Structure 1
Amino acid sequence: MPGPGPDAVPEQHGEPTTWVPGATGSLFDLDHLPYGVFARGEEEPRVGVRIGDHVLDLAPIAAAQMLEVSRTFQQPSLNELMGYGPELVAALRRWIVGLLTQADERPLVEPHLVPLTEVTLSLPIEVADYVDFYASEHHATNVGRILRPDGEPLLANWKHLPVGYHGRAGTVVASGTPIRRPSGQRRGGTFGPSARLDVEAELGFVVGVGSTLGTPVPCSAFAEHVFGVVGLNDWSARDIQAWEYQPLGPFLGKSFATSISHWVTPLAALDAAWVDPPPQDPEPLPYLAPGATRGLDLDVEIEVNGRVVSRPAYRTMYWSPAQMLAHLTVNGASLRTGDLFGSGTISGPEPGQRGCLLELGWGEESAFLADGDEVVLRYTAPGTGGGRIGLGEVRGGIASALPTP
């Protein structure tokens, strides 16, 4: 597989500062550098990296420096780049930092900095498979109390394994894509548009390097397979979900749309964000590496129609990203480049930290989304430069349902 070559990608030392105007100290400084797919005018979509309020068009720079990797930057998705693996991805990151910090590179690079206002962004990855988890104890407990007020809020298996379901890769869409209100069966077998349309603020993990069918991926190999993260909104039709979910779990109440951010934040940008997760009791089975995995310190903001309604914190999530990946593959299921797995709704212990409208309104009908409403999810995390980085936002407006067939 072609890569940049060690001679073409110099090692960086110290804390460099970019020459790109307005980028220093922003949420998209050198310590972030997320990848996305952009197009300018009628040009074909291709891979770029964000610095400040600009997209760096990588393909012509790589071609000018005669790097084989230039063809990878001409692709309409990040999949080829993600499949290179951690070593080459790290080398590319060092190369990009060099381009954006070294004065002698500026004459070559600056003409290929494109303002965000001049580009169209698209879905950054070709999604291979999509799996969604249910990793927040606070969310699972709240939902249990709402739906089963006379029973135990957590089901018997919840603290023994990361519960999840297999979603639809084909309905993962980019931020900004309108969300059509789904229709379906509701309690009692009635049919019509969902009246309880909800948002679920999640974090998505994107697989770069695949795995072999029949070979589980241990928690310790998380960074060998996961390329980076995206913001994720798992739109949910609660009334459709409530009627269908027993005995096999979510189906049409979830599969109509899942929105992700335009930007994929590489794992290297999160080096300063790893924290110890909450205690786990009872101790999980050995394949879930009890005590050896880490959580993430990300803050999330949920905005509905311009008003912030909640600020969940990812650090409270019970099951770690590595445990979710290990559980996903423990039966021998293989990974593919472009696989996406979601964390499940991010909810904290306080009322103002709940990650969906079902929780925020405690099941009240008036809490759910109306046609024309717009939801925006925003994420920030500690950056390696001492400030904060901001994952790309996830935006979606609600369009009315199509006529009932």
Structure 2
Amino acid sequence: MNAIDETHDPALRSWVESANAAGGDFPIQNLPFGRLRGAGEPWRIGVAIGDQVLDLQRAAAANWSAAPRELLAPLAAGDLNAFMALGADAARTLRRALSRALAAGAEPTLAPCLREQTQVELGVPCTIGDYTDFYVGIHHATAVGRLFRPDNPLLPNYKWVPIGYHGRASTIFASGQPIRRPRGQVKPADADAPRLQPTARLDFELEVGILIGRGNAPGCSVPIERAEEQVFGLTLFNDWSARDVQAWEYQPLGPFLAKNFASTISPWVVTLDALAPFRRPLQRPADDPPPLPYLSSADNAARGAFDISLEVALQTAAMRERGEPAQTISRSNFADAAYWSVAQLVAHHTVGGCALRPGDLFGSGTLSGPDPGQAGSLLELSAGGSRPLVLRGGEQRAFLHDGDTVTFTAACERAGAARIGFGRCSATVLAGEGD
């Protein structure tokens, strides 16, 4: 697993002054990767530092000492996937080089390569070829199961096998891009037949995205001891869901149209190296069955979880019209919510011989905490729609309305370490086709 080195020093400061601001998402200890472009430009790769982004195409052409030219070459070409394919050691080498070049006291040779984040468009951080959505949130699984199966909320396979299904990469959108209310088959309880209509139960799902780096060859499983070597970094991820469509279609193979219409990903990939100070033991109750050997290692049990605080905010159209900020409606934590670790997901996904490729995405599944205010979906927060949330100004929400904006944020914080943020994962709901 990732070691702590000089790049994590909480005393480290940057000559990019905004990176030194208290409470910022992108100090010099973070250095996440993303994709950007200015007006009329092709997509290019950058690294967030404070309120700036270091344009790596420009940085590759700059004359700075210790520049790792062979690592900057794919990034200068605008191909994050090719860099991800080089593996964890390459990412670690570039991280150290950038940290030294951006540190206070270094010559600001890269200053001409900085661009204000507000002056560029940020996109989906890499080319996502395949997308698997998992179901690691045990509190979410239990709460949702209790709504539909009060006597047996958690199915017997849950504590043995990481549950997942294949999703659609073609409708994963960048943060800030609106999503349209989808249509699908819905069968009301009092109807004899289903009908095609816009969903009336549109929901969000608070998730962490896991982006694959090097990957593995077909037929070659990845042992859990080496699983994190295949992971480039983490993002925020909103797996939008149409609950009424899902209720009708999900048996026997699971959701389809209820999920495939849109997912939103945050623009910055926080590397596992940046998260090294925030590892925690993986939580598993002593009376639960032990994982099978291919899902078990001492290191994973001791340090397999990531201590990431998560937050969901909702801003209605009426709030915007009144000039009011979004209202926080839920707070959770990745380590507290997840029953299965990132390494276990990689080991399980590949144990049958499935090949993972650079840029493949795993969704964690909804990351709800154990308490009601820590739910990662409106399905839970509103008890299936029976107890709508009461918002500022008296508005109520059982499920999302057109004009609602949902925003996820996340950060890692602890004494003796610099705060590491993830930026924002945000989208506004628009009326559906033909509405």
TM range (shorter): over 0.9
Q: Please, which of 306, 311, 326 is the counterpart of residue 331 of structure 2?
A: 311
Partner residue of 1:271?
Answer: 276
Read off the aligned partner of 2:291 and give its amino acid letter: P
Q: Is the 8 A contact 1:272 1:382 kept in 2?
A: no
Distance 2:215 2:424 in 1: 27
Distance 1:388 1:125 in 2: 24
Q: Say which SS state the counterpart of residue 253 (structure 1) adopts.
A: helix
Separation (CA, whole Å) in 2 of partners of 1:323 and 1:70: 31
Partner of 1:284: 291
Correspondence 1:403 to 2:434: yes
The answer (yes or no) to whether the contact 2:25–2:423 under 8 Å persists in 1 is: no
In the other structure, the counterpart of 1:8 is none
Shift of 1:60: 2.2
Residue 111 of structure 1, CA deviation: 1.5
Per the TM alignment, residue 338 of structure 1 is displaced from its structure 2 partner at its CA by 0.7
- Give RMSD over aligned pairs: 1.8
Aligned partner of residue 97 in structure 1, secondary structure: helix
- 1:295 equivalent in structure 2: 305
Q: CA deviation at 1:383?
A: 7.1
Partner of 1:175: 175
Give the aligned partner of residue 356 of structure 2.
335
Unmatched runs of 5 consecutive residues or more in structure 1: 1-10
* Matched-pair identity in %: 45
Match for 2:331: what amino acid?
R
User: What is the aligned partner in structure 2 of residue 190 from structure 1?
Assistant: 195
CA distance in 1 between partners of 2:377 and 2:198 (Å)? 20
Equivalents in 2 of 1:235, 1:75: separation in Å?
Answer: 32
Shift of 1:88: 1.3
Counterpart of 2:258 in structure 1 is 253
Q: Is the 2:57–2:77 Cα contact (8 Å) retained in structure 1?
A: no
Task: Flag structure 2 segments of 5+ consecutive residues without an equivalent.
Answer: 1-5, 188-192, 316-325, 387-396
Contact 1:345–1:356 under 8 Å retained in 2: yes
1:77 offset after TM fit, Å?
4.3
CA separation of 1:12/1:28 partners in 2, compared to 1, >3 Å: closer, same or farther? closer
TM-score between both structures, scaled by the size of structure 2: 0.86
Match of 2:121 in 1: 120
Supply the AA of the counterpart residue of 2:368: S
Instruction: State how far apart, in whole Å, the 1-side matches of 2:78 and 2:168 are.
Output: 21
Shift of 1:105: 2.7
Is contact 1:270–1:383 with CA below 8 Å preserved after alignment? no
User: Is contact 1:60–1:70 with CA below 8 Å preserved after alignment?
Assistant: no
Q: Indicate which of 17, 20, 41 corresponds to 1:21.
A: 17
Contact 2:212 2:356 in 1 (8 A): yes
Match of 1:346 in 2: 367
| Contact preservation (8 Å) 1:77, 1:124 | no
SS in structure 1 at match of 2:420: strand
1:244-288 C-alpha deviation (Å, 9 max, x unpaired): 111111211111111110101111110011101211511111111
2:213 touches 2:358 (CA, 8 Å); kept in 1?
A: yes
Aligned residue for 1:3? none
1:23/1:212 Cα in 2 relative to 1: closer, same or farther (>3 Å)?
A: same
Tell me what 2:248 maps to: 243
> Counterpart amino acid of 1:18?
S
> 8 Å contact 2:198–2:432 — kept in the other structure?
yes
**What are the Cα deviations for residues 188-221 of structure 1, in whole angstroms up to 9, with x where unaligned?**
4221001100000000100010101111112111
Where do residues 188-227 of structure 1 align in structure 2 (5 Å cutoff)? Answer: 188-227=193-232
Give the Cα–Cα distance (whole angstroms) in 1 for the partners of residues 296 and 276 of structure 2.
20
TM-score using structure 1 length: 0.93
Q: Which residue of 1 aligns with 2:144?
A: 143
CA contact (8 A) 1:383 1:389 kept: no
